[in-house]
Amino acid sequence: MDELPMAKAINEGLRAAMVENNKVMIMGEDIAQLGGVFRVTEGLQEQFGPNRVVDTPLAESGIVGTAIGLAMRGYRPICEIQFDGFIYPALDQIISQLAKLTARHAGTQSFPVVIRIPYGGHIGAIEHHQESPEAYFAHTPGLRVISPATPHDAYWMIREAIACDDPVIYLEPKSRYWYKGPVDDASPGADTYHARVAREGSDVTLVGHGAMVSMLHQAAEVAQGEGVSAEVIDLRSLSPIDYATIETSVAKTKHLVVAQEAPGNVSVGSEIAATMTEKAFYVMEAPVLRVSAFNTPFPPARLESQYLPDVDRILDAVDRSLAY
């Protein structure tokens, strides 16, 4: 078991998948000799050659459209989108084509395309370089949407995404790229599509994904010092969502707070709140509370700390939930 930053864990996961299957290839902007903006693909072209690690033009729609054609010919392409805010030119290919093609072929043709997207804030970047577009994809039938919170999960979840015959949106919390954690390449642990109980507790359930899981851990530590036991759940998968794990936790704690970096309006957090209200209305002792970014475009870097949820906003929601 090695200690790796998340970026390196993803790199090793990509490498392992490419060794196992020569139909796996990566394509994206500046991913070959440069190794990508965040160096996630560093060293892969040197090992596997320019036909399997391909620098593309600055054309996200073309990247995804080409990947669809490659998938139809038996390849397992992985598209790297340089930043979250650059994904929008590819939405037509993803939503109008990729997400629908398996159904259009009545299941006779699979489209094993993985689209890697660095997303989220906390890096002080400029416009179009810090966004959380996960709701667009989670709303779209035909796509699987996942996001790791730890290097270990990042390694195994990218490998599972590549092995999956369905299109997968693989969201990488860019603010966690440089944080190290243990990676056991011999033991995958739980299934990607099952949520992970990251911290056990008895008074309130805190649910989040990606970089927000670390923030929930910090909030739980502070709450513990104030006599409140918080259970932290890492969603892992945003589509499908593992509601059973959340429901089991809420049956114990009776209180639920959902936190995310994305704006709250019509979001993954909104869907969890609505579904858990349906499933656990008679169990909970308080309404589901949501903590999110504000419903505005991502602000300039100096204001991101005011825009993104922090420990204080999460703890405020915990206090309000327990006060009911």
The catalytic residue positions are: 129
SS3 track for the chain? CEEEEHHHHHHHHHHHHHHHCCCEEEEECCCCCCCCCCCCCCCHHHHHCCCCEEECCCCHHHHHHHHHHHHHCCCEEEEECCCHHHCHHHHHHHHHHHHHHHHHCCCCCCCCCEEEEEECCCCCCCCCCCCCCHHHHHCCCCCEEECCCCHHHHHHHHHHHHHCCCCEEEEEEHHHCCCEEEECCCCCCCCCCCCEEEECCCCEEEEECCCHHHHHHHHHHHHHHCCCCEEEEECCEEECCCHHHHHHHHHHHCCEEEEEEEECCCCHHHHHHHHHHHHHCCCCCCCCEEEEECCCCCCCHHHHHHHCCCHHHHHHHHHHHHCC
**CB-count burial class (<10 Å; 0-12, 13-18, 19+) for 96:** exposed
Rounded CA separation 79/24 (Å): 11
**Which residues, other chains included, contact 12 with Cβ-Cβ below 8 Å and sequence gap of 6+?**
4, 155, 183, 185
- Alpha carbon 98 to its chain's center: 19
Q: What are phi and psi of 206, to 5 degrees?
A: -110, 125
> Residues 81, 116: contact at Cβ < 8 Å?
yes
